Amino acid sequence: MPMLIGYARTSTLEQEAGLEAQVRDLEALGCQRIFSEQTSSVGRRDQLAAALDHLREGDTLVVTKLDRLARSVLHLGEIVGTLAAKEANLRIQALGIDTNTATGKLMLNVLGSVAQFEREMMLERQREGIQKAKADGKYKGRKPTARAKAEQVKELAAEGVGATEIAKRLGIGRASVYRALNA
């Protein structure tokens, strides 16, 4: 018998009430099993992995909002691919999207396309801004931190400190240590 599997997430411990509210909403929607966690969207998401693993053919993964589930369009695509491979569905309550229907599948694809378009436009604006800043002489890139520490590298090497330890002490890469020594 197909099950509704809920997934709830908040980013920080301060959002305890938000997590509890999501869990209550998922219970009210009839979810028989709910996976929840408090973690950054870019951190490890063990409970999401467990929820996806728990899904069986015909089951539906239910989330209250899209941003609780996926960190990017690419990540959403991966999740949808996992669901498709398991012949499971996705329901995003706040958007009224349910991939158990043809309309729901269409809406999810449209939403993903719009999000991808917005990201590409943002990156294009960012590139244009950087080009303008470079033309105005305001964008010079990152400060070369390792070169600024070249004298310290040579002093430590002269004291017999190894490259790995020099890198660790100065907070630079080992390759930068070798470049400074060979300069």
Domains of the chain, with CATH numbers? 4-102 (3.40.50.1390), 145-182 (1.10.10)
Q: Which residue has the tokens 């709830």?
A: 8
Residue 167 has pLDDT above 80, yes or no: yes
pLDDT reported for residue 114: 82
Between 112 and 56, where is the model more confident?
A: 56
C-alpha distances out from residue 1 to 6, 27, 82, 88, Å: 16, 18, 20, 12
What sign for the dihedral angle of Cα 96, 100, 101, 102? positive
102: helix, strand or coil: helix
With vertex at residue 40, the alpha carbon angle to CA 20 and CA 78, rounded to the nearest 5 degrees, is: 100
Residue 30 has pLDDT above 90, yes or no: yes
Residue 13 has pLDDT above 70, yes or no: no
Helix spans in 58-143 (H): 73-85, 102-135
Residue 142 has pLDDT above 70, yes or no: yes
Span 91-124, pLDDT tens digits: 999 999 999 999 998 998 888 788 778 878 988 9
Report the chain's mean pLDDT, rounded to a whole number.
89
Residue 42 has pLDDT above 80, yes or no: no
Highest mean pLDDT among 67-71, 143-147, 150-154: 150-154
What share of the chain has pLDDT > 70, as a percent?
Answer: 98
pLDDT band with cut points at 50, 70 and 90 for residue 177:
very high
Q: Any idea how long the chain is?
A: 183
Which residues are CB-contacts of 115 (< 8 A; sequence separation ≥ 6)? 73, 76
Between 73 and 61, where is the model more confident?
A: 61
pTM check: above 0.95:
no
pLDDT reported for residue 146: 79
| Beta-bridge mates of residue 38 | 10
User: What average pLDDT does this structure show over 169-175?
Assistant: 90
pLDDT band with cut points at 50, 70 and 90 for residue 77:
confident
Encode 65-77: b = buried (16+ Cβ within 10 Å), e = exposed.
Answer: ebebbbeebeebe
With vertex at residue 88, the alpha carbon angle to CA 86 and CA 71, rounded to the nearest 5 degrees, is: 95
Nearest 5°: phi and psi at 13? -65, -25
Assess contact for 98 and 60: CB atoms under 8 A: yes
The residues carrying an active-site annotation are 11
Between 137 and 51, where is the model more confident?
A: 51
Nearest 5°: phi and psi at 122? -65, -40
